[in-house]
């Protein structure tokens, strides 16, 4: 009888100790299995290039080095630490490095989320929430700086919410996280902004006699956190640079990840949203007023831009865990298995063993649609330096040491340039296209074969089509060239 009781008591605690570990390992292995998806964004290429420049020069950039349209203009890289880490990983093991690094960081974020939730909610509820969060974030899980900042986001928000739930001020041990976050990704500004609503929630739920002292503690923490965020090579300029991105106005919606959510067809976000609404109606879920405000704010962010889905998916469960636990119940046993440390060591050894195997079988490489290697080789053969390029080709051009017309550093180019480029390249205002070609003395264009601008150049005099591989097309500016009704590729013969 004694043995039976002991085993039964150990089971829930063991399950809770295993759950975050199992989530982390499962997410990690899944991401290694689909590793090329993590390399699907062209920005990864220039992030690694910038990171290598920082390593080589032992300095951070303060002006543009990679375009001919903005060369020499002020530009700082608030993601410098993430770029260095990616560059180091790439230098050691090639493309497997960034994949493993990003997969590990993302897996750590979900393991931390599962750990926070499993301490407050039943295992089934924890798994459902984590699965929903993974589905919502899947579209933005990429080998880019934000991926390395995800575990910091979860740990930071978890620390703030846990303090508010206890009616206390946050631990000073959270402050180094803010410094780390500020050097990894510009999203640290969101972490600073979150302090205010969470602090207000904590203060308002405190006894009136203790509110003033708690408010002062939170205010002190916020001030020190702000100072901690300025511990970067750029000082407080990192704050200004992050704000500059959000002030791009009409340029932001032109970037895919900043598109607002569309409900034109049933998607993962709508399913999760309807599921949340159904649960609230079914169980009569009641939330504290400030948690409702926080949830609505996160929903607004997600509806405004698809890239904010990850913030909703990771932050909302943390904010709602304690209120939900009071209504749907919590874990049977809040303790942790005595075997948890051994399980962690076992998992770490298993990951160390399986990573090289999966990395060797993955054959990781950036998406070919964003890596026009043959086309760029042709540009170099022609000694072309002023190229009007497709936005998504900018990352590859930087990586291959070709000056760009435009690339993914949106904050550098600014709202007007971005909007003008969009109107020109999409031929919404054709005059802008010709004006840009003329004003910037464009020698050639490197555009997607099926783009409207490339199709137009097929039928214009003075523009010679010299390369087409079905993905990228090069048109060379050559006065006197006459277009054909069905343009043929006419190779250029170099002069000795």
Task: Report the distance separating Cα 407 and Cα 423, nearest Å.
Answer: 16
Task: Name the DSSP letter for residue 171.
Answer: P
Question: Which pLDDT band holds residue 8 (cuts at 50, 70, 90)?
Answer: very low
Percent of the chain past pLDDT 90, that is, above it, reads 66
Give the pTM: 0.90
Check residue 346 and give its pLDDT.
73
Q: Which of 40, 49, 21, 10 is nearest to 111 (CA)?
A: 21
Residue 385 predicted with pLDDT over 60:
yes
Question: Which pLDDT band holds residue 307 (cuts at 50, 70, 90)?
Answer: confident
Task: Report the distance separating Cα 254 and Cα 248, nearest Å.
Answer: 10
Q: Which of 102, 16, 21, 20 is nearest to 349 (CA)?
A: 21
Check residue 267 and give its pLDDT.
83
CB-CB contact of 323 with 287 (8 Å): yes
Alpha helices in 234-308 (DSSP H): 237-246, 268-283, 289-304
Sign of CA dihedral 132, 104, 315, 170: positive
CB-CB contact of 27 with 104 (8 Å): no
Residue 419: count other Cβ atoms within 10 Å of its Cβ.
18
At 361, phi and psi to the nearest 5? -90, -15
Mean pLDDT of 430-448: 95
Least confident range from 422-431, 470-479, 483-492: namely 483-492
Classify 473 as helix, strand or coil: strand
Mean pLDDT of 125-143: 93
Check residue 350 and give its pLDDT.
72
Mean pLDDT of 360-378: 87
Residue whose structure tokens are 């330096």: 385
Check residue 338 and give its pLDDT.
63
User: How confident is the prediction for the chain on average, in pLDDT?
Assistant: 88
281 compared with 168, residue with greater pLDDT: 168
Check residue 327 and give its pLDDT.
83
Percent of the chain past pLDDT 70, that is, above it, reads 91
């Amino acid at each position: 009888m004694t043995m039976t009781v002991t085993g039964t008591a150990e089971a829930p605690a063991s399950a809770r100790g295993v759950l975050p570990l199992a989530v982390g390992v499962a997410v990690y292995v899944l991401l290694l299995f689909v590793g090329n998806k993590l390399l699907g964004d062209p920005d990864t290429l220039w992030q690694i290039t910038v990171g290598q420049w920082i390593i080589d020069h032992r300095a951070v950039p303060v002006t543009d080095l990679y375009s001919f349209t903005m060369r020499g203009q002020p530009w700082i890289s608030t993601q410098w630490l993430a770029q260095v880490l990616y560059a180091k990983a790439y230098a050691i093991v090639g493309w497997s490095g960034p994949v493993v690094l990003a997969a590990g960081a993302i897996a750590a974020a979900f393991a931390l989320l599962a750990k926070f939730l499993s301490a407050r909610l039943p295992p089934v509820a924890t798994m459902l929430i984590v699965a929903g969060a993974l589905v919502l974030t899947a579209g933005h899980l990429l080998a880019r700086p934000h991926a390395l900042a995800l575990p910091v986001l979860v740990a930071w928000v978890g620390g703030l919410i846990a303090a508010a739930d206890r009616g206390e001020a946050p631990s000073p041990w959270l402050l180094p996280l803010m410094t780390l976050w500020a050097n990894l990704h510009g999203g640290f500004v969101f972490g600073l902004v979150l302090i205010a609503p969470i602090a207000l929630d904590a203060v308002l739920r405190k006894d009136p006699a203790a509110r003033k002292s708690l408010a002062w503690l939170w205010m002190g923490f916020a001030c020190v956190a702000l100072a901690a965020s300025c511990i970067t090579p750029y000082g407080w300029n990192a704050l200004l640079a992050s704000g500059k991105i959000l002030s791009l106005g009409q340029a932001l919606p032109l970037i895919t990840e900043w598109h607002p959510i569309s409900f034109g067809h049933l998607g993962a976000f709508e399913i999760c949203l309807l599921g949340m609404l159904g649960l609230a109606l079914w169980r009569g879920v009641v939330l504290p007023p400030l948690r409702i405000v926080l949830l609505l704010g996160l929903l607004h962010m997600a509806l405004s831009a698809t890239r904010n889905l990850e913030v909703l998916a990771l932050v909302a469960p943390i904010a709602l865990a304690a209120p939900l636990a009071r209504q749907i119940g919590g874990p049977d046993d809040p303790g942790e298995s005595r075997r948890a440390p051994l399980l962690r060591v076992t998992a770490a050894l298993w990951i160390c063993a399986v990573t090289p195997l999966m990395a060797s079988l993955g054959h990781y490489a950036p998406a070919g649609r964003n890596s026009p290697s043959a086309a760029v080789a042709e540009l170099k053969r022609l000694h072309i330096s002023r190229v009007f390029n497709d936005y998504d080709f900018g990352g590859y051009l930087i990586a291959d040491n070709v000056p760009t017309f435009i690339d993914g550093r949106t904050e550098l180019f600014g709202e007007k340039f971005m909007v003008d480029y969009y109107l020109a390249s999409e031929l919404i205002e054709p005059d802008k296209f010709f004006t840009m070609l003329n004003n910037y003395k464009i020698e050639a264009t490197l555009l997607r074969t099926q783009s409207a601008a490339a199709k137009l150049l097929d039928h214009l005099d003075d523009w010679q089509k010299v390369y087409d591989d079905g993905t990228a097309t090069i048109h060379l500016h050559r006065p006197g060239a006459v277009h054909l009704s069905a343009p043929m590729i006419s190779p250029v013969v170099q002069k000795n």
